[in-house]
Amino acid sequence: MEELWPLPTPEVSDAIRSLCQRLLTDADALTGAIAAAALTTQYDPALLPDASLVEEDRHLNRSDLVQWLTSNIQQPGRRVEPYIGPRTTEYICDLVSRGIAPDFAEGWRVALGIGWRRWVEECVAYCADADLLVEVLDVSGKSLVQYALDSVAAMREASLAAAMGDANADAIALIQLIASGAPMTEDLAEGRLRYRLARQHVGLVLWTDDPQRANALDEAVADVRSASAGGSALIARATATSRWIWLSGSAIPDLHHIEKVVAKAENVRAAVGRPGRGLDGFRSSHQDALAAQALVVRLGSDRRFTAYADVELIDSITKDPASARRFVTKTLGPLAEADEAIRQALLTYVQCGFNTTRAAANLYAHRNTVERRVSRANELSAVKVEDNPTHVAAALLVLEIAPDITAATPC
């Protein structure tokens, strides 16, 4: 690429290289700060519950950050060429197919504000000499601003190319309109989607955390579709790593079959909404599935199958992870770090209506064993189950989904 400013001196180059090496070790934390702020400026807030979209955007932010840092380690202070790799290209195609037009310029403006402040802090801490500090900030500022301009131009070109080559955008855009609550008749939606709406629906999200496992994802989709025997299915490619699915029929589709399919599919996960009927059911079940997926991703859980009906309360409690962490710690105290079997015994005991015999049957354990575990769990718990069973059960459910939540950050 054409160089637009003089090359830095060897001393300035060494300083920039050292600073980039230091920041590269903290790339994940800096990416998190940038992505969280930039995401809300680029997209319609209604799209933010899609955890796959959020994750791909975070990956793009990290890729942009690492590209600039590594380029300045190799050639400090030079103009950096944006890298639009295969994963980024697929991500842009996914956005276009869903009718999403991000404001890349606004996203970069926000990202630059956060990134530049951190860069200045690092420069001030590193450069004891004022003249060196001025030169480093001058050269790096030019490089960073030009990188933002070049990146915005490259992303816009990629978006235009994707829009020209997308023949399925109309159907995806219609699904997006229905899911977002736009007024629409069932007849119109059925005709456009070729999918019956005047019946029971279950919305699902299937996704993988590994972009290289897209084939396994599509195989799982085919197996899940068989759960709608006698009914119909609608499949939408939401992103390169996720699929939106609706199953419908005269009866509610078999969720146990779906859970078995996911259990057999390597690196594939599923979130399932509550059943609903008609156009409203189509919409609400999909929103449930998205919320369940977002919960699992937000908490860093390795859970493979999540039904929103089972985690709706936990979703409300964990909207703020730090608050959820405090809630679990304050409620359970030492029990939060106890053996999982002890916690599970207490949770099952509460869920079985404080019936030890039923709890023992559900746990496939002897009644006396369950009694001992429940007693020990209640001794360890900061809040006693007889005082507030709702809080204790909710805290135990949070730990069941995200076992490491209390270890993430001290309260």
Per-block mean pLDDT, blocks of 10 residues, the chain (411 long): 86 95 91 80 63 84 92 92 84 76 82 92 93 94 92 82 58 77 83 82 91 82 73 80 85 81 88 91 91 90 91 86 88 92 93 92 92 93 91 91 74 38
Check whether residue 161 and residue 15 sit in a common domain. Answer: yes
For residues 17 and 149, membership in a common domain is answered with: yes
- Measured between alpha carbons, how far is 68 from 309 in angstroms, rounded to an integer? 44
The residue out of 308, 332, 354 marking a domain boundary is: 308
User: Do residues 352 and 375 share a domain?
Assistant: yes
Residues 205, 221 within the same domain? yes
pLDDT of residue 361: 93
Q: What is the pTM of this model?
A: 0.61
Query: HSE (CB half, 13 Å, CA atoms) of 138?
Result: 12
Kindly state whether residues 131 and 47 are assigned to the same domain: yes
Residues 195, 288, single domain; the answer is yes
Predicted local distance difference test score (pLDDT) of residue 349: 93
Domain match, 288 and 277 both: yes
Q: For residues 276 and 268, what is the distance between their CA atoms, to the nearest angstrom?
A: 25
In a domain, 315, yes or no: no
- Specify whether 182 is located in the same domain as 284: yes
Q: What local confidence, expressed as pLDDT, does residue 68 receive? A: 94
Contact between 148 and 64 under an 8 Å Cβ cutoff? The reply is no
* CATH number of domain containing 348: 1.10.10.2840
Please say whether the beta carbons of 157 and 247 come within 8 A: no
Handedness of CA 400, 404, 409, 411 (dihedral sign): positive
Assigned domain for 407 exists: no
Among 259, 278, 308, identify where a domain stops: 308
**CA-CA-CA-CA torsion sign (299, 305, 40, 91):** positive
Same domain for 154 and 46: yes
Q: Using CA atoms, how far apart are residues 11 and 215, in angstroms rounded to an integer?
A: 50
User: For residue 22, what are the domain limits?
Assistant: 10-165
Number of domains in the chain: 3
Residues 269 and 327 in one domain: no
Does a structural domain hold residue 4? no
Q: Are 246 and 373 in a shared domain?
A: no
